[in-house]
Amino acid sequence: MLNIVLFGPPGAGKGTQSAKLIETYQLVHLSTGDLLRSEIAGGTELGLKAKGLMDAGLLVPDEVVIGMIDNKLAQNPTAKGFIFDGFPRTIPQAQALDSLLTNRGTGISAMIALEVEEKELISRLLIRGQSSGRTDDQNEELIENRVKEYNTKTAPVASFYKEQNKYFSVYGIGEIEEIFSNLCAIMDKLK
């Protein structure tokens, strides 16, 4: 299996590049942000609990997202692999993902990080907020909270994969196609 953690701060382009990668490599896209937004849209209890935290730009509890990922892995037993987008966002999530995959006889092939400077992220997210309808993309203070959550809780997850020699990075500013081809160069070596 080819199991990739596509990593990077909010606004780095993970969603855009995931969509292209799953098509090229026939993988299943698992975005915890998308899964949470669909819980909110469905008005579920989980969605109601997550909404306040998401609207404040804060992370939802680890057990919530780990449970969602566990369900999705179980629902896709024949997948050729997964692109994890927006997950894991904390060290306990990374540890849980390792054990979920080990239990299924597989593991993470690589983390690929999209590197984008903070100033560019904030302007990208403000632009996305004008059309995405995402409540957490609407104002600069909220966006800064998300970048802060990323810097304190999520950035350390990179070390977790560096220690396992599974860390790669790609510069995330430029043409979408050029960034994609740099990602593909890494993916092709992993296959």
Residues 126-185 binding ligand AMP (CB under 6 A) are 136, 146
Q: Which is nearer to ligand AMP, 48 or 185 (CB)?
A: 48
Name 72's Cβ contacts closer than 8 Å, sequence gap at least 6: 28, 30, 35
Q: Which is nearer to ligand AMP, 123 or 181 (CB)?
A: 123
How far apart are alpha carbons 77 and 74 in whole angstroms? 6
Backbone angles phi, psi at 100, to 5 degrees: -60, -40
Indicate the SS3 state at residue 13: coil
Measured from the CB atom, the residue of 86 and 189 that comes closer to ligand AMP is 86
Q: Which two tokens stand for residue 57?
A: 């730009």
Q: Which is nearer to ligand AMP, 36 or 170 (CB)?
A: 36
Size of the site for ligand AMP (CB under 6 A): 17
List, in sequence order, the alpha helices (H) in the chain: 14-25, 32-41, 45-55, 62-75, 91-103, 118-132, 140-149, 157-162, 176-190
Alpha-carbon gap, residue 125 to 132, rounded angstroms: 10
Q: Which residue, 87 or 180, has its beta carbon nearer to ligand AMP?
A: 87
Residue of 5, 8, 9, 10 that binds ligand AMP (CB under 6 A)? 10
Cα angle at 104 between 109 and 86, to 5 degrees? 50
State which of positions 31-70 bind ligand AMP (CB under 6 A). 32-33, 36, 53-54, 57-60, 65
Minimum gap (Å) between residue 82 Cβ and ligand AMP = 14
Residues 73-102 that bind ligand AMP (CB under 6 A): 86-87, 89, 93
Contact residues: ligand AMP, CB under 6 A: 10, 32-33, 36, 53-54, 57-60, 65, 86-87, 89, 93, 136, 146
